[in-house]
Amino acid sequence: MTALVAGFAHALEPDHMAAVTTFVSRRPRPLQAIGFGIRWGAGHSAAILVVGCILVALNIQLPDVLARGLEFGVGAMLLALGLWLLWNVLHERAHRAAGDTHGHTHHHHHGGGSLWVGMAHGLSGTAPLVAALSATLAGSLGSAALYLLLFGVGTTVAMALYALVAGVVFHQAGHRAPALAGGLRALTALGSAAIGVLWMVNAAGGGA
């Protein structure tokens, strides 16, 4: 139960929510939104389970330089996602301003993107999680694997629920006030980019 709760809480960290929201905001229908959340959670969970078990089995920790490099990479990824979403928002507005009622309706499928983003988040979060496990589980591979598995289940459930709520918000906004939906997507883009920059600065500064 502890692992499930910890995983649930872990999913709702700002960088995780920002990343998934950038995907959901583009395709907010409930089932699509849940799909983004589940794929993100699956990627995150797989990365933590595999890498975490290897680290526990070998009784090693990721070098601090590598851990900070992964954090920096996550920041760069969030910045890229934010810029990608912002470009889409501006592109759609340009089409509307030109009187094109069809150009802004063409969406590209990025379902697999959330899986890879989740894996990147999982890799960057493995080091601190395994460090905590080593102190509590005394290097037991079986116990660590079970904990990481349940942690992943909690993470995936939480993100699926969050994605559903975010999808409903964007979907309703799109139907009732398209301009508001565009504004929300723009804010999401800027928020993701800002969090990405903060993560990069923090990683470059060694977490100081």
Count of domains forming the chain: 1
Residue 208 has pLDDT above 70, yes or no: no
DSSP character for 206?
T
Is the residue at 103 inside a domain?
no
Is the residue at 183 inside a domain?
yes
Is the residue at 104 inside a domain?
no
**Of the given ranges (5-19, 96-110, 113-127, 140-154), which has the lowest mean pLDDT?**
96-110
pLDDT tens per residue across span 96-118? 666 655 444 444 445 578 899 99
Is the residue at 190 inside a domain?
yes
Residue 22 has pLDDT above 50, yes or no: yes
Amino acid (1-letter code) at residue 175: H
Is the residue at 188 inside a domain?
yes
Q: Sign of the CA dihedral 129, 133, 134, 135?
A: positive
Q: Of the spans 77-81, 118-122, 142-146, which averages the highest pLDDT?
A: 77-81
Residue from 180, 190, 122 nearest 156 by CA: 122
State the chain's mean pLDDT as an integer. Answer: 85
pLDDT band at 95 (very low <50, low <70, confident <90, very high): low
What's the mean pLDDT in 60-64? 82
Residue from 34, 29, 31, 14 nearest 163 by CA: 34
Tell me the residue range of the domain where 124 lies.
2-98+109-204
Dihedral of the alpha carbons of 188, 197, 49, 58, in degrees to the nearest 10: 180
pLDDT band at 134 (very low <50, low <70, confident <90, very high): low
| pLDDT value of residue 139 | 59
| pLDDT value of residue 15 | 92
pLDDT tens per residue across span 158-184? 999 999 999 999 988 888 887 888 899
Is the residue at 196 inside a domain?
yes
